[in-house]
Amino acid sequence: MFRNIDSTFKKLRSSQQINLGGIRHIREPFQPLKRCPRWVCVEDAIKIINSEHLVFIQGGAATPLELVRAMTEHGVCNNLRGVRLIHMALEGDAPFANPEFEKHFRSISLYIGANVREAVNEGRADCIPLFLHEAPKLFYEQRIVPDVALIHVSAPDPRGFCSLGVSVDCTRAAICTAKVIVAQVNEHMPRSFGDTVIHSSHIDWAVKYDCPLPCIASTAPNDIELEIGKFIAQRLVEDGATLQLGIGNIPDAVLCALVNHKDLGIHSEIIGDTIVDLVERGNITNKNKIKHRGRLVGSLGIGTKRLYDFLHNNPFVEMLAINYVNDPRVISMQPKMTAINSCIEMDITGQVCSDSLGCKMYSGFGGQLDFIRGAALGQDGRGKAIIAFPSITSKGESKIQAVLKLGAGVVTTRAHVHYVVTEHGIAQLFGKTLRQRANALIQIAHPDHRECLEKAAFERLKTMPTKYL
């Protein structure tokens, strides 16, 4: 039990609970309660965490780094045991994942970030494979009920409302079901529109800590990535299309090649800096969208101060919960929905590995299949599901393989893949036989590897790959 919660607080929490179809929920924290948060120093706020607690941590560029730091020190100094931490990918330091703190904390990722990847693969941390649009369901169905939620919000406005800023994802669901909410309140956090609102009276412990948000700047796309971007922009993206892109050099290369396109829309899990360029140029207007016409929709913003300034008090952007943004049914309603994703490797039948390097976990399912399926189901019949990647790795190994590496996870099945793009061209796989698929993929593989792939295809399929039936 929590030692520092009085009976009044317990009654307030109880009064927020409602019953929907037999499932116990907490009311959305839009309306103010008749109380104020307790403004304390970070060391006092974090004392609420005890051994065996389940703690949710808001992720992405909204990772509450000061709360994470204090929590780690509190857990070690007080010899807490078995504190479980549930989170999406976190930015910045993750000291709780260090080997020496294994007895105190165990991280559970819904999407693995670089700062906990080693811990997951060494067995000191866990991950939950799931489609991101189903992440909030874990909280709403009470499969996960956080004892404490650590979040990062903007300063309250004159009416007492704060904003979750750059990261809504499953945070909205977590704060609706958490028993206690501890917030890092930061004047640098953008005040965004959408599902980001939380009234300060729903925050139990508030810590004032102003600091710039983590900046994640992409490197400039290289020649190979620029070539991939041109193929996609010139041959697959239509004027008036709605786009989903991830973060990285290939999405940036695609966006750089869209400067002559008109009336594009954005409905994307993640939004980054390069999107700002196209908005300012007038390429992105969102005027043709069926839902959220005239609005750019995302769930996470990850980039530099330029992006965060763009998001601040900007009604052109709606930051919405990930169970909505990533819902394939919602995605399918967007006009000419074009989903562009990447992968770690692909086999000659079109199976896509995106979450592991062989048996070693690397990231997670993310929203790839959410958007690949949503685009393919496009209600206007003009959606495009695209997997794009360089034909070879940095070590010269082909990313198109005869078979996936031992232990490689299939995130996107061969039936889901429609278009595959490398710097050597575009392969259209939908409706093709295994032989036709192998032939199409070998044609866009790196020339140095095509002969070996043809031989391997013959051994696997017992016949030569061909473009004919």
Q: Identify the band that residue 12 occupies on the pLDDT scale cut at 50, 70 and 90.
A: very low
pLDDT average, residue stretch 385-394: 97
In whole angstroms, give the CA distance from residue 58 to residue 88: 7
Which of the pair, 6 or 126, is modelled with greater confidence? 126
Q: Identify the band that residue 3 occupies on the pLDDT scale cut at 50, 70 and 90.
A: very low
In whole angstroms, give the CA distance from residue 254 to residue 241: 13
Is residue 58 within 8 Å of residue 83, measured between CB atoms?
A: no
User: Which residues 6+ apart lie within 8 Å of 116 measured at CB?
Assistant: 90, 94, 97, 107, 109, 125
- Residue 443 pLDDT greater than 50, yes or no: yes
In whole angstroms, give the CA distance from residue 351 to residue 364: 16
In whole angstroms, give the CA distance from residue 151 to residue 163: 10
- Residue 180 pLDDT greater than 90, yes or no: yes
Burial (CB count within 10 angstroms: exposed 0-12, middle 13-18, buried 19+), residue 406: exposed
Taking only the tens place, the pLDDT of each residue in 144-158 is 999 999 999 999 999
CB atoms within 10 A of CB 314: 15
User: Which residues 6+ apart lie within 8 Å of 330 measured at CB?
Assistant: 267, 291, 324, 374
Is residue 418 within 8 Å of residue 384, measured between CB atoms?
A: yes
In whole angstroms, give the CA distance from residue 337 to residue 241: 6
Residue with the two structure tokens 């990062």: 152
With a pLDDT cut of 70, the percent of the chain lying above it is 93
User: Which residues 6+ apart lie within 8 Å of 3 measured at CB?
Assistant: 50
Taking only the tens place, the pLDDT of each residue in 292-321 is 999 999 999 999 999 999 999 999 999 999
Residue 22's pLDDT is what?
32
Torsion of CA 35, 320, 215, 223, to 10 degrees: 180
**Residue 269 appears among annotated catalytic residues:** yes
Is residue 189 within 8 Å of residue 165, measured between CB atoms?
A: yes
Q: 3-state class of 320 per DSSP? A: coil
In whole angstroms, give the CA distance from residue 194 to residue 299: 9
Which candidate, 429, 440, 412, 332, places its Cα nearest to that of 376?
A: 332
Please name every residue paired with 432 in a beta bridge, in sequence order, or none if there are none: none
In the chain, the amino acid numbered 68 is V
- Residue 204 pLDDT greater than 90, yes or no: yes
pLDDT average, residue stretch 224-236: 97
Q: 3-state class of 414 per DSSP? A: coil
Is residue 436 within 8 Å of residue 458, measured between CB atoms?
A: no
Residue 88's pLDDT is what?
97
| Terminal-to-terminal C-alpha distance of the chain | 66
Is residue 112 within 8 Å of residue 141, measured between CB atoms?
A: no
- Catalytic residue (one of 269, 318, 423, 454): 269
Phi/psi region, residue 85 (left: phi>0; alpha: psi -120 to 50; beta: rest), is beta
In whole angstroms, give the CA distance from residue 13 to residue 446: 59
Is residue 269 within 8 Å of residue 367, measured between CB atoms?
A: yes
Q: Identify the band that residue 105 occupies on the pLDDT scale cut at 50, 70 and 90.
A: very high
Residue with the two structure tokens 């996107």: 412
Taking only the tens place, the pLDDT of each residue in 252-289 is 999 999 999 999 999 999 999 999 999 999 999 999 99
User: Which residues 6+ apart lie within 8 Å of 150 measured at CB?
Assistant: 55, 56, 57, 58, 64, 67, 68, 71, 182, 183, 184
Is residue 140 within 8 Å of residue 48, measured between CB atoms?
A: no
Residue 4's pLDDT is what?
41
In whole angstroms, give the CA distance from residue 88 to residue 63: 10
- Residue 187 pLDDT greater than 80, yes or no: yes
All domains in the chain, ordered by first residue: 38-208 (3.40.1080.10), 223-461 (3.40.1080.20)
Q: What is the pTM of this model?
A: 0.91
Is residue 138 within 8 Å of residue 177, measured between CB atoms?
A: no
